Amino acid sequence: MPTITVENVGPVKNVAIECPPEGGIVVLKGRNGRGKSKTLEAVEAAMSGRGKPEVRDGAARGKVEGYGVKLTLGKRQTRSGELEVESLEGKLDLAALVDPGLKSAEAADAKRIKALVQLAGVPADEELFYGLIGGREQFQAAMAHDSGRPPDMEDLDLTEMAALVKRELEDCARLSEREAVHFEGQEKARLAAAEGARDGDAPDERTLAEALEQAVRDEAAVNARATAATNAAYAAANAKRKLAEAEAGYRGPTRGDAEKSLATAQALFNDAQADLASAEAALNRCKETSRQRAAELDAARSAQVAATNHESTIAAWREQLAADAPAPVSIDEQEAAAQRVSEARKAVEDGAVLRQKLKSLAAAKEAKALAHSHRERAARFREAAAGTDGVLSQAVAKTGSPLRVDDGRLVLSTHRGPTKFADLSAGERWRIALDVAIESVGDEGVFVIPQEAYEGLDPIARREIAEHVAERRVVVLTAEASDDEEIVVEQFAPDATGTLA
């Protein structure tokens, strides 16, 4: 049976601690001040190589020896040999797991989680988080959302990496939520702009434009007819006035009389010319006569031109008076044509307003869809961020602990429901921590727990721990106050019959 000897340490002169090879709880019992805790500290210093136990007053040297190592105490402390069993050294600080000594419960749990993950030995690998967000590409895109490139996670441990991933995913969720709020605002504004409009209400823009063009053409035709009628009435009145003036102011012969006079004058002129040619003697007389006839001829020609012009003017005015004048257009007809143009123009304007409302309605639907998409995306990021706790929980589970990580806190299921580890009593926390330690040191390992930890365990918890250490052949060294004057070593382990003694 392996034995640990402690000599001249604290108040202890000599104590031999026999450790059952089949594993069990070894309890140092005695009254307060008898050196139980000093003995445990010395054993732990020998196994870990850390700490400097006190030499007993009056002794030159002290010694702790067992499991292949020897710690010599004195003016100069030396440690030799190599520990032949597994211990918690470098793996887990049990007391810190039970109580990290931090005021903040969240910070205390963060420290506990880090210790458990390190104990589990799960390497920090970003691939552990790929499944949270749909794969490597989606994960790296989410991590790079801020700076355009994923953050450097090479030197992070798993808890630091999980915290970073959680922050980045929550940041992505917040960004998506802000986008959702933006598009929800757009939807609200577009719906306000589309008030009163429904899908399918918009009239055809081309039909309205054609109706307006036709109304404008109709109005122009009516106005043109009205203008033509007005002009024709004015022209008729003017022709009538001019005709009356021409008929009343003319004093010359008629056209027929003038033409007869012209013919007579021409004949006379011809005769005079003949007489001029036949009689030189009568030249002077004939010249005089010719001049007279020429003057008469000029007068006749002027009279003929005047008569011709007069009759042409009269004929023109009569022709104009005889022509068919356009029918007059009533004021009502003109107003009706203008009203149709106004109505057609308003229809075009109303159609444009309605089409704009329908565009706003379509934009509102699109904004709603985008807002919904961003809400779903934010929910996925939130869920993925929460999933980082699952990655840590899987790592914690490798320690054999029933604990899991939930929203950054250590939680376990109890008869009271999900309970935070920090809310358990010290005894309950030590009970769980001991199971973790037993699994950590493995078969035939050895570790020390303080007296207050063992004394905080109820009988059922002690029995369960004893069964666990026996199953893994682990030795747990601890202490308990009793009325013994000297330190007594007892073993709490299953006997040959399977009962605990």
Q: Which residues of 35-50 are buried (b: 16+ CB within 10 A; e: fewer)?
A: bbbbbbbbbbbbbbee
Long-range Cβ pairs for the range 208-214 (8 Å, 24+): 208/344, 208/347, 208/348, 208/351, 209/348, 211/344, 211/347, 211/348, 212/341, 212/344, 212/345, 212/347, 212/348, 214/344
The residue behind tokens 């009356």 is 244
Name the burial class of residue 327, with classes exposed (0-12), middle (13-18) and buried (19+) by CB atoms within 10 angstroms of its CB: exposed
User: What is the residue-level pLDDT of the chain in tens, covering all 501 positions?
Assistant: 689 999 999 999 999 999 998 899 999 999 999 999 999 999 999 998 888 999 999 999 999 999 999 999 998 999 999 999 989 888 888 889 999 999 999 999 999 999 999 988 899 999 999 999 899 999 999 998 877 788 888 889 999 999 999 999 999 999 999 999 999 999 899 888 878 777 666 667 788 788 778 888 888 888 887 887 788 778 878 878 887 877 777 777 777 887 888 888 788 878 777 766 676 665 676 677 778 877 777 777 777 877 777 777 777 777 777 766 677 888 888 888 889 889 888 888 888 888 888 888 888 899 999 999 999 999 999 999 999 999 999 999 999 889 999 999 999 998 888 999 999 999 999 999 999 999 999 888 999 999 999 999 999 999 999 999 999 999 999 999 999 999 999 988 655 444 444
* Token digits of residue 310: 């007069």
Would you state the pLDDT for residue 494?
56
DSSP three-state, residue 270: helix
Domain boundaries, the chain: 97-121+398-432, 122-190+369-395, 205-333
* pTM attached to this predicted model: 0.65
Opening angle at CA 92, ends 86 and 96, nearest 5? 145
Q: What strands, in cross-sheet order, belong to the sheet with 3-9?
A: 12-18, 3-9, 62-66, 69-73, 78-81
In SS3 terms, 431-490 reads as: HHHHHHHHHHHCCCCEEECCHHHHHCCCHHHHHHHHHHHHHHCCEEEEEEECCCCCCEEE
- Which uninterrupted H or E stretch holds 314? helix 283-322
Would you state the pLDDT for residue 131?
93
